[in-house]
Amino acid sequence: MRDSASALGVGILHNPVVPDLLKSDPGMVDYVSIMPDLFWADGGPGANPRFSESEPWMEFIDWACGRYPLVAHSIGLSLGSAVFSDDAYVEQLADWHRRYRFLWHSDHLSFAQVRSASGQEQHAGMAVPLPLDFEVLRLLTARIQALRPRLPTPFLVENAVAYVTFSDEEMSEPAFLNSLVRDSGCRVLLDLHNLYTNARNHKFDASAFLRQLDLDAVVEVHVAGGTEEDGIYTDAHSGPCPEAVWSLLEEIMPCTPNLKGITFEFHDSYFSIFGAKDVRAQLDRARAIWHRHRPR
């Protein structure tokens, strides 16, 4: 089944070096993915003002929203937290949707925030993967169902990178994602580099994973590069995509009728070794694949 919104093409996830890249080469992307959380300092619940927007960063988003379609990729919803709610944060995201007309919103299949027995908030310091059990599925479903009416666009959940596995899980990851899509009404941001990382570290077949996933639900794809450290391959966003990630992208393109965009991610700290030409080459390669499967 094909969704009605039009396809975008190839995009880039914003980081501090992206504004200069886009200003010098505006045609390198068709859209920009924004992590709204990075554009403001959050004083935390009760702070007044709670969110202080960063002036130089705001100049970029104000510049970009007149030139590119924008999509939102938040990192603060902590969808999988057993106990967590932050209405003011959701309202801030909703306000940004009104201001910048993001075409969709995504966050991660993980948790980052926990509340201790004494009621104190604690941050996990990273996106922590979830055990794929029915209890967690119900928790996520309820949270996404509550969230969707507040954000006026399709809501996407990104498959997580997981350096550890949990024994005795009740569902496979594709089955978990398929159920989440069916039960909560969310869509999928398929991060092929996360999948590649997990498959490489935990020695499973990424193509088999894709064959089990409901690819109709995939609206956005992330591609990126990583680094091997101490026998573990990490999702470091440190450079070019591995060939295997491009192959996975080629595999899914004919089976993703609702795919709207392929987003390339890299971390700005690697920009001194992975420069503008390299970024452009990755985007061009993604665009070539896009056009091969989505002829204009």
Partner 1 sequence: MSVTSFQQALCDLIASPRLCRALRAAPEEVLANYELSARERARLCDVVWQRGMSTNCSLYRANRVTPLYMLLTYTCRSLGDQFRSLLDEFWDAKIYRDGQFSSEVERFAAFLRKRIADGIVSSPFTAELLEFELKLNSLRSAPRKQLLREVKTLPAPGPDTPCRIHPLARLVRFHHDPDALLDAAERNVIASAKIPRRESLLVTPQLAPALADAGLLVERRNRNKPARLFMDA
Provide the binding-site residues for partner 1, judged by CB under 8 A. 41-44, 52, 54-55, 75-76, 81-83, 111-117, 120-126, 128, 131, 135-136, 139, 162-168, 201, 229-232, 234
Kindly tell me which of 122 and 212 has the beta carbon lying closer to partner 1. Answer: 122
> Least separation, in Å, of the C-beta of 96 and partner 1?
17
> Least separation, in Å, of the C-beta of 69 and partner 1?
27
CB 187 within 8 A of CB 217: yes
Residue listed under structure tokens 């590119």: 68
Kindly tell me which of 205 and 229 has the beta carbon lying closer to partner 1. Answer: 229
Amino acid sitting at position 23: K
> Least separation, in Å, of the C-beta of 108 and partner 1?
13
Kindly tell me which of 81 and 258 has the beta carbon lying closer to partner 1. Answer: 81
> Least separation, in Å, of the C-beta of 43 and partner 1?
7
Closest to 137 (Cα-Cα) out of 191, 167, 178 = 178
> Least separation, in Å, of the C-beta of 110 and partner 1?
11
Which two structure tokens, joined as six digits, stand for 245? 């990630």
CB 223 within 8 A of CB 245: yes
Alpha-carbon span 50 to 38, nearest angstrom = 14
Closest to 175 (Cα-Cα) out of 133, 127, 206 = 133
Alpha-carbon span 24 to 74, nearest angstrom = 26
Strand positions, DSSP E, 21-86: 31-34, 40-42, 51-53, 70-73
Instruction: Indicate left, alpha or beta for 81 from its phi (over 0: left) and psi (-120 to 50: alpha).
Output: beta
Alpha-carbon span 233 to 254, nearest angstrom = 28
Instruction: Determine the length of the chain.
Output: 296
> Least separation, in Å, of the C-beta of 166 and partner 1?
5
Kindly tell me which of 205 and 230 has the beta carbon lying closer to partner 1. Answer: 230
Kindly tell me which of 149 and 231 has the beta carbon lying closer to partner 1. Answer: 231
Kindly tell me which of 122 and 281 has the beta carbon lying closer to partner 1. Answer: 122
> Least separation, in Å, of the C-beta of 124 and partner 1?
4
Kindly tell me which of 117 and 273 has the beta carbon lying closer to partner 1. Answer: 117
